[in-house]
Amino acid sequence: MTFLRQSLLSAVTLLTLSPFAFAQEGASTPWADLRDIHLNVTPRTDAEKARIAAVTALPTDFSKPWPFEENSGGAQTVRARGIADAFSQPAANLSFQQELDFKVGNGMFKRLWVSPPASTIASDGLGPLYNARSCQRCHLKDGRGHTPEGPEDSAVSMFLRISIPAPSTDEITRYIAGTHPTAPDPFYGTQLQDLSLPGHAPEARMDITYETIEVPLSGGETAELRSPTYKAADLGYGPLHPDAMLSPRVAPQMIGMGLLEAIPAEDILSWADPDDLNGDGISGNPQIVWSRLYDQPMLGRFGFKAGNANMVEQTASAFAGDIGISSPLFPNAFGECTASQVDCLSAVHGENAEQDGFEIDQTGLDLVTFYSRSLGVPARRNVDDPIVLQGRKVFFDSGCAACHRPNYVTHRLEDGNAASFQLIWPYTDLLLHDMGEGLADNRPEGRANGREWRTAPLWGIGMTETVSGHTQFLHDGRARSLLEAILWHGGEAQASRDSVVNMDPPDRHALITYLESL
């Protein structure tokens, strides 16, 4: 596991910041001058930077496919298979040893955790409060989760985040300028667990109601949106805090995560324009979070509001919050239980000396993280189809690429990291954008306010139905089609959304066809 642990660390971006980037004692100085310090990274030369700028420059010829765009994940691209396992393939350029680690990690990703005490020590420690018994239960086939359709359908791939406003003297706010101070709900923590072990009450049941909104489109066409309202019902531990803020989350797809982690922070920040100095109506604000792993600030990349900086913490936080499993990063064996949940705190837990006193040890955490980093990205389909080419032009003409940045070249990484130096096409800037009142959850997270969301990657989006059996999109699955997802865009994306509403129907059809090819 020595090689694996080194390779896991090599793609992680660490940040140092100038005095202008971080506030002291609650000051509100804006971010500036973010610089990378990478582990096991070969710095780019000026000549290499020029080559990268040339290869990532957007071509102006829309009449034919662009070089290499069919290889969405660079050398990690895999064949686009028309089966439900299309997102579950190992990256194409893994070594033999890495493929073995991938398969072991896959087994742990699918592992069903059991209640303690149990004879199966390696799977012991579920709960007592949880949202799922395995990673796979939420990320079924490594694809998107879904909203519960009716009372008999499970909400296992969806949950409600929760927080309350906190004093401005919050510890992290002293260091990261622009952070909106929040704290866990004193009764329910940071997310609501709707499942529990025998003898423990679930925290809540998520109740969703929808209102129908009809949207007129050009050419006499119409679309129908469903506007959701969320409620925490059947509360098991008393009322929510009076200032509690709820926000729904559907499990996202898993492909290409290691490649997103390997994008240089410098490249991401080059698109940030929080004050819209260029006057194009698009801002883009970097999320900056405190890293438990490195005990310092880092650029946030993962999660709908970019709340985690690297895949180690993304994985460990999911184990703790979703399954109730402790790890070296989240050592509490009771998971998300709060001080008011005394039975949960005093329950038998699954920590074991054979796993260094945790319910999953560092080796297990590394393997699941490696699996999550190493899922291949399916190749583009129909890149030379005339309608797809027309739709690509519509995509750019409508301004969609202002946030959904098409391509990057990843860092040149050492230690045999398979994400090293790849031309990739994720279609995201990984920045926070104001998406308008329609998508607002009114719950801040770090430097993201209640209207801001991280730009979602678009690679693989056209295979959602193949993998997940549905076409639900956005952070809460409210959009039942790609068109509905576009129509929910507001704020900085309002002009692009209005362009789609008003364009000729054949262009709108071509745009959707293009997105389906990604």
Could you tell me whether strands 296-299 and 288-291 are parallel, antiparallel, or unpaired per DSSP bridges?
Answer: antiparallel
Give me the half-sphere count of Cα atoms (radius 13 Å) on the Cβ side of residue 153: 12
User: What pLDDT, on a 0 to 100 scale, did the predictor assign at position 151?
Assistant: 67
| Residue carrying structure tokens 């399954």 | 323
Segment holding 246, helix H or strand E: strand 245-250
Contacts of 305 (CB under 8 A, 6+ apart): 287, 432, 445, 446, 448, 452, 453, 454
User: What pLDDT, on a 0 to 100 scale, did the predictor assign at position 354?
Assistant: 78
- Contact in structure between 117 and 126 (CB atoms under 8 Å): no
User: What pLDDT, on a 0 to 100 scale, did the predictor assign at position 171?
Assistant: 61
User: What pLDDT, on a 0 to 100 scale, did the predictor assign at position 120?
Assistant: 80
- Give the amino acid at 225: L
Contacts of 94 (CB under 8 A, 6+ apart): 102, 374, 418
Structure confidence by residue, pLDDT tens digits, 297-316: 889 999 999 999 999 999 99
User: What pLDDT, on a 0 to 100 scale, did the predictor assign at position 283?
Assistant: 92
Task: Pick out the chain residues at pLDDT < 70.
Answer: 1-40, 151-152, 168-175
Proportion of the chain in helix, strand, coil states, percent, rounded to 5:
30, 20, 50
Structure confidence by residue, pLDDT tens digits, 441-483: 999 999 999 999 999 999 999 999 999 999 999 999 999 999 9
- Contact in structure between 230 and 248 (CB atoms under 8 Å): yes
- Which parts of 18-128 are beta strand (E)? 34-38, 77-78
Could you tell me whether strands 288-291 and 195-196 are parallel, antiparallel, or unpaired per DSSP bridges?
Answer: unpaired
* 347: containing domain: 2-517
Q: Which two tokens stand for residue 222?
A: 């119409």
User: What pLDDT, on a 0 to 100 scale, did the predictor assign at position 89?
Assistant: 98
Nearest to 205 by CA among 183, 235, 172, 179: 235
Number of domains in the chain: 1
Give residue 381's Cα distance to chain centre: 24
Q: What is the DSSP letter of 68?
A: T
Q: Classify the C-alpha dihedral 229-235-239-240 as positive or negative.
A: negative
- Contact in structure between 453 and 473 (CB atoms under 8 Å): no
Transcribe 368-381 into DSSP letters. Answer: HHHHHH-BPEEPPS
